[in-house]
Amino acid sequence: MNEPEKEENRQRELDKISALLRRYLDYLSVEKGLSVNTLESYKNDLTRFFSYLLQKKLSWETIRRQDVEAYLTAAQNEGVTVATVSRYISSIRSFYNFTQLEKLSDNNPSEDIELPKKPKKLPEFLNTEEVERLLSAPDKETVTGLRDAAMLELLYATGERVSEIINLKMEDLNLDEGYLVCMGKGSKQRLIPFGDAAGEMIIRYIRNSRLKLMKEQSTPFLFLSTRSGPLSRKTFWKMIKDYRLKAGIEKDISPHTLRHSFATHLLQNGADLRSVQMLLGHSDISTTQIYTHINQHRMKKIHDQYHPRAKRK
Q: Among all residues, which ones are annotated catalytic?
A: 161, 185, 256, 259, 282, 291
Can you give the pLDDT at residue 252?
85
Same domain for 89 and 185? no
Average pLDDT in the chain:
87
What is the value of pTM for the model shown? 0.58
Please indicate, yes or no, if residue 111 is contained in any of the structural domains. Answer: no
Mean pLDDT of 24-48: 91
> 168-177, long-range: CB within 8 Å, 24+ apart, which pairs?
168/221, 168/222, 168/223, 169/220, 169/221, 169/222, 170/220, 170/221, 170/222, 171/220, 172/222, 173/202, 173/222, 175/199, 175/202, 175/203
Residue-wise burial string across 157-168, b where 16 or more C-beta atoms lie within 10 A, e elsewhere: bbbbbbebbbbb
Q: Which amino acid, 225? A: S
Same domain for 241 and 145? yes
Residue ranges making up the domain that contains 262? 128-303
Please indicate, yes or no, if residue 137 is contained in any of the structural domains. Answer: yes
Please indicate, yes or no, if residue 267 is contained in any of the structural domains. Answer: yes
Same domain for 88 and 136? no
Q: Closest Cα partner for 159 from 206, 195, 133, 188?
A: 195
Mean pLDDT of 209-217: 91
Residue-wise burial string across 47-69, b where 16 or more C-beta atoms lie within 10 A, e elsewhere: eebbebbeeeebebeebeeebbe
Same domain for 67 and 206? no
Same domain for 158 and 257? yes
Same domain for 211 and 84? no
Most confident of 104-108, 142-146, 183-187: 142-146
CA distance 277 to 134: 25
Same domain for 25 and 164? no
Please indicate, yes or no, if residue 116 is contained in any of the structural domains. Answer: no
For 39, other C-beta atoms within 10 Å of its C-beta total: 16
Helices (runs of H) and strands (runs of E) counted in the chain: 14, 3
Residue ending a domain, choose from 101, 118, 140:
101
Q: How many domains does the chain have?
A: 2
Residue ending a domain, choose from 101, 120, 136:
101
Mean pLDDT of 227-237: 90
DSSP 86-140: HHHHHHHHHHHHHHHHTTS-S--TTTTPPPPPPPPPPPP---HHHHHHHHH-S-T
CA distance 272 to 286: 14
Q: Residue 280's domain is classified under what CATH number?
A: 1.10.443.10
Mean pLDDT of 10-20: 85
Same domain for 80 and 153? no
Please indicate, yes or no, if residue 147 is contained in any of the structural domains. Answer: yes
Same domain for 142 and 204? yes
Q: Note the pLDDT tens digit of each residue in 277-304.
A: 888 888 777 777 777 665 555 566 666 7
Same domain for 141 and 96? no
Predicted confidence band of residue 121 (pLDDT cuts 50, 70, 90): low
Please indicate, yes or no, if residue 169 is contained in any of the structural domains. Answer: yes
Please indicate, yes or no, if residue 309 is contained in any of the structural domains. Answer: no
Same domain for 159 and 242? yes
Residue ending a domain, choose from 101, 119, 147:
101
> 113-116, long-range: CB within 8 Å, 24+ apart, which pairs?
113/65, 113/68, 113/69, 113/72, 113/89, 115/86, 115/89, 115/90, 116/82, 116/85, 116/86
CA distance 106 to 99: 8
Q: Residue 55's domain is classified under what CATH number?
A: 1.10.150.130
Same domain for 204 and 296? yes
Please indicate, yes or no, if residue 120 is contained in any of the structural domains. Answer: no
Give yes or no for a contact between 131 and 183, defined as CB atoms under 8 angstroms apart. Answer: no
Q: Note the pLDDT tens digit of each residue in 244-274.
A: 999 999 988 888 888 889 988 888 888 888 8
Predicted confidence band of residue 32 (pLDDT cuts 50, 70, 90): confident
The helix/strand/coil state of 281 is coil
